Chain A
């Protein structure tokens, strides 16, 4: 836990040179384009990345994450740790102290009551709060005094930096939202579209799914910041046109999430008007191998434990051969360019948790895969070009969401797998259905009525405990759970469950790192085939400086330090 306190000084120092150069509003007007437009400025009512990031200009939390995934005290004086007494020795509570002199943009003081209210607001049973996950395990939030907030947990919580940390659980003003609890939340349109915040900017005008006009918060706690006086936050269009408006026409200064053909983006950037910023968090594009049998002949027992294990994908040798046949660097180059790195881990970051035990997968080895299958006696016995596993021909149905990059990757992987004697049928499903989770639809990624499927997942924040608990035996999607559950490929290993339980009890960071790496290695040998560590890709105008791209928090987390080059 010591490292959190170490970085406080470092960040404070980093901010000094900028402060000496400019004053509030001296950089004029900033134009930001998000090609997906924000629908509301209340992140608790949406949960979408576009809403979380746009509201991070206005709403703030106790701490934010910088570009390395380190916590930076934001509204708090310092990061509470066990060493400084901020976290109780039994790890069941964390006590935050609000920095001195923080006010809302309307001039009133930020107090601990606002944090208590925020917790009440988000945990109201009828509210449908999208960030309720941040308050999981929180039994109460107490206002110790006007500037001290204590968050109490039901049980020992080794990583207590969830509630009020990061851009997804910011503090909202009790006075403004008092009448908006529970089912009344949608009635407060004015508050949801123009929240009063502590952040560097305040809302002047908000048009849902279109544009936000903001201006510098006159009551912001740093008298010299933000350097920009006004901001236009425009939404709409698509990634390519957003990139064009920064890199070719220069109408905008910052464009977010440029998921587009990497060669086109590189060509635009080569003109010199913009710089491409990339930051890597925890997103990994991966292939899941279904451990249960998705054969339609099984009827209701299809893709469930009751229907029996998959005829061949539960064998690690098969998974290993499928993994060896894939050329990850090529997939990365074609689909992601600078925005991706080949990876062999399902948990690629932070560095402490990243395993190096599987790096051999970075190099494609088709002859090796063929030799491996041949050696295991999995051969093509009837000469049709497809291997048989205990008499079952190795045919797989490979599904993913509809997306040009994914379909390119599918086609390449199909070709490589057919080279090693595994026939592959491709299927793609509209993203809103695939990720929609409708229990009545046969096409969701949770139902997994296919042999293998590919998508990206990640976790918010920097602690992987909850993420690694996704693959507990009990978390399989099944009819009894309305097909909900995070263990989509029905992985089940009692030894894995034991490691998850051990991690919950372990506070020591290095030990937690070891446990996480061990769990990662169990998963990637070989029921998950990790492909690409995906980063956020954004473009900023060459004249914009002070930007520090973080994939651990809102990309706009330090917008108060952004400025125009002189």
Chain B
């Protein structure tokens, strides 16, 4: 298992280099310009000076290698200095956003908390809803509960979040006035009252995303449960006189969770990647919003860095999913 892991990690390096180069070319060769969003009153000479000062006019390969060197060497050192306080970071330049002219890593660090709060909570909520939904739906296949559950998960799966999000706002913020429609990223939880405020502002985006996640996971779990319920070992367990509770929740669930756990692990990078649409709708302004604004304004360093981190997480979590698979199912061995 260890050699397998090491081999996969080494293989990941060329993969990530290739990914980063492709992302860079896609962003760089697409016809967008960091000065495109400026008012037309700003004359072309000034625009050219702005581009020059951003380094947009350097040759593409020079820009790529500058970025790569900063990304794999300088920025990790800055990260170490930031977390440990050791004076290891070099004095040189950092990856600078075109829009804000500030280090991209600071922007990401600033946005990570609200993304993890909202998207992370929604993922947990999604799993918590999906577990009982999937188990009962499978156990009582074609019952009323199963039909209703299937209907809800189909709705959650197929209705886009920009629709459910706005629908929630119109119902709960505009008509009922229960929750705010705008997320306050500077809100700090210090006591019970501020926790209630946080709960109120987080509930709508979490439920919108949670519904979507729950639909997806519950369908996997239901299918996996159905596969296992008809297996011989289940009949054996029942024949031994075990209670239905133990048969379903211990024997069947444990085996059914194997594929579901990998699905859950594979989707974890999406939590860090944020939710572009839902973040926009509720103005959560996390990683997803950072990325979309950067794409719109031709901010290559931000798009490049965020997509690269996203790529690293995907490579990492697919490895974790594979390893988990081996741990959960003793029949699978990688060596």
Contacts and interface: CB of A to CB of B under 8 A. Distances in A.
B102 A432 contact: no
B31 A458 contact: no
A186 B94 CA distance: 10
Interface string A40-67: 1010011111000000000000000000
B101 interface: yes
B106 A238 contact: no
B298 A249 contact: no
B100 A431 contact: no
A357 to B, nearest CB: 26
Contact of A207 (B177, B180, B185): B185
| Max count, chain B CB within 10 A of own CB: residue among A42, A127, A130, A440 | A130
A460 B42 CA distance: 9
Contact of A244 (B99, B169, B293): B169
Interface stretch (A209-217, A291-299, A338-346, A362-370): A209-217
Contact of B99 (A129, A132, A209, A232): A209
B281 A183 contact: no
B193 to A, nearest CB: 17
Nearest to A50: B37
Contacts of B36: 431-433, 435-437
A272 interface: no
Interface residues of A, number: 64
A241 interface: yes
Interface stretch (B59-67, B222-230, B245-253, B283-291): B283-291
| Max count, chain A CB within 10 A of own CB: residue among B42, B166, B290 | B42
A377 interface: no
B35 A437 contact: yes
A441 B30 CA distance: 10
Given A128-B52, A241-B169, A245-B181, A40 B102 contact: yes
B37 A208 contact: no
A45 B46 CA distance: 11
Contacts of B44: 437, 484-486
B50 interface: yes
A225 B114 CA distance: 35
A306 interface: no
Contacts of A129: 46, 49
Contacts of A46: 38, 99
Contact of B101 (A45, A48, A205): A45
A278 interface: no
Given A209-B290, A238-B280, A484 B48 contact: yes
| Max count, chain A CB within 10 A of own CB: residue among B42, B50, B53, B106 | B53
A210 B285 CA distance: 6
A201 to B, nearest CB: 16
B255 interface: no
Nearest to A209: B293
B244 to A, nearest CB: 49
Contact of A249 (B35, B42, B181): B181
B280 A237 contact: yes
Given A205-B186, A249-B177, A432-B36, A441 B31 contact: yes
B179 to A, nearest CB: 9
A106 interface: no
A429 to B, nearest CB: 9
Contacts of B289: 209-210, 236
Nearest to B285: A210
A459 B110 CA distance: 36
B40 A458 contact: yes
B173 interface: yes
Nearest to B99: A39
Given A48-B38, A209-B100, A249-B181, A237 B283 contact: yes
Interface of A: 33, 37, 39-40, 42, 45-49, 125-133, 183, 185-186, 189, 192-193, 205, 207-211, 213, 232, 234-238, 241, 244-245, 248-249, 251-252, 431-433, 435-438, 440-441, 443, 455-460, 484-486
27 contacts: A33-B182, A40-B99, A40-B100, A47-B39, A49-B39, A127-B49, A128-B52, A186-B102, A208-B99, A208-B100, A208-B110, A210-B111, A211-B186, A211-B285, A234-B283, A235-B283, A236-B280, A237-B280, A241-B283, A244-B169, A245-B182, A249-B181, A431-B36, A436-B32, A437-B33, A437-B36, A486-B44
Top 7 A-B pairs, shortest CB-CB distance: A128-B53, A436-B33, A484-B44, A436-B36, A186-B101, A39-B99, A236-B283
